[in-house]
Amino acid sequence: MSTIIEDIVARKVLNSRGDETIEVDVITVDGVGRASAPSGASRGKAEVVPFPNGSVDEAVKRVEEVIAPELIGLSADEQEEIDGLLHDLDGTDDFSEIGGNTAYAVSLAVAEAAANSYGLPLFQYLGGYVARELPYPLGNVLGGGKHALGKAPDIQEFLVLSIGAPTFAEAARANVLVHKRLGRIIKRFDANFTGGKGDEGAWAPNLTSGEALEALTEACEAISGEVGFECRVGLDVAASSLWNPEKKEYTYVRDGVKRDPGEQLEYIKELIEKYRLIYVEDPFHEEDFESFKELTRRVRGCLICGDDLFVTNSERLCRGIEMCAGNSIIIKVNQVGTLTDAWRTTETAKKARYIPVISHRSGETTAFHIAHLAVAFGCPIIKTGVMGGERAAKINELIRIEEMLGNRARMPKLTF
């Protein structure tokens, strides 16, 4: 079998918001890999640049004129070497020359081409025979912030995590049941609710953050009783989008409240305690390591996760680890550029006992690679939505992987 790269093809495709993005095919003698890049509505300032000069056309051009000539003839199974070459070809610290999304699509397509060349599923090619642990699905069931229009909650995502499920398939089904039950409950809180949804397929009602939490808590408790295991509530506050750097305060427009950093910390702590939250992502703005540290010190039994705080960057993560700021990290490959970069950050997190949560983005494609990466990297949680074709693509792929693994498949034990 040969993994020699014979050709690389790039094109423009559409993501779930109808925006253009890049897709790349890597063709070897004995296999083909294809990957497309997602895009986030709320992006961390420390993320790599998604496209050169903000242009998908320029990204496609960079693949054709800069990347393909250098990669053709190399072996696709030399992942680390190829990812290093992508950095060299770019020559910047933030992938501003070729684009982080360009690097992402090429890097993932190379890995899939190598896996297909060997006749292996991607998770097994990357993770080996020991890769057999399925993640718990973390799903957005009610949305606000930048993921919704109109008078939706200020908090960006209200999430469900079915942590007691014995299998991935049962956990995914429980999340769907919560989503459906929540839709009925919302109508009691918002009589004019017509079933509107945001970017990730989550309900987008005219509710305050408190009303949204009450509704979701009720839905989770009801479904927990039906399925026989715990469905717990989580949040993605996306606090950077609420932060006013001039006034040094968080502005909750829908709730009509402004909070300074100390008040924000007390507010989040109260929510964790009142609603038994199991997960809170980005409760403070992306440079406030100190507040992350203090919240982590003061609460127990809840994942305090950094997305904009860490942006899958190992240096920022190491700063957080040294301070004990948070205990979990979102892993989004295109925040940092390549598969190798994301893997290194994930390994750093696991060694420090930070829970890595591999994640989709709000502007997704139907590519399913993060499903395989969750298993290959040993991420105990995958944040990938609940409803919508681009979200279901990842969930359904994990159901297939669970079936493929058979009695070797297992669910993780979450300790934090």
Phi and psi based region of residue 13 (left: phi greater than 0; alpha: psi -120 to 50; beta: remaining): beta
Residues contacting residue 382 through CB under 8 Å, at least 6 positions apart: 135, 136, 137, 138, 357, 358, 359, 370, 371, 374, 394, 398
Asked whether the CA dihedral 347, 372, 141, 160 is positive or negative, the reply is negative
Alpha helices per DSSP H over 190-313: 209-227, 261-275, 289-298
Tell me which residues are annotated as active site. Answer: 200, 332
CB neighbours (10 Å) of residue 81? 11
CB neighbours (10 Å) of residue 315? 11
Q: Single out the residue of 263, 259, 267 nearest to residue 243, CA to CA.
A: 259
Q: What is the DSSP string of 18-42?
A: S-EEEEEEEEESS-EEEEE--B-SS
Angle ∠(141,361,336) on CA atoms, nearest 5: 145
Angle ∠(109,389,366) on CA atoms, nearest 5: 10
Q: Residues 298, 290: contact at Cβ < 8 Å?
A: no
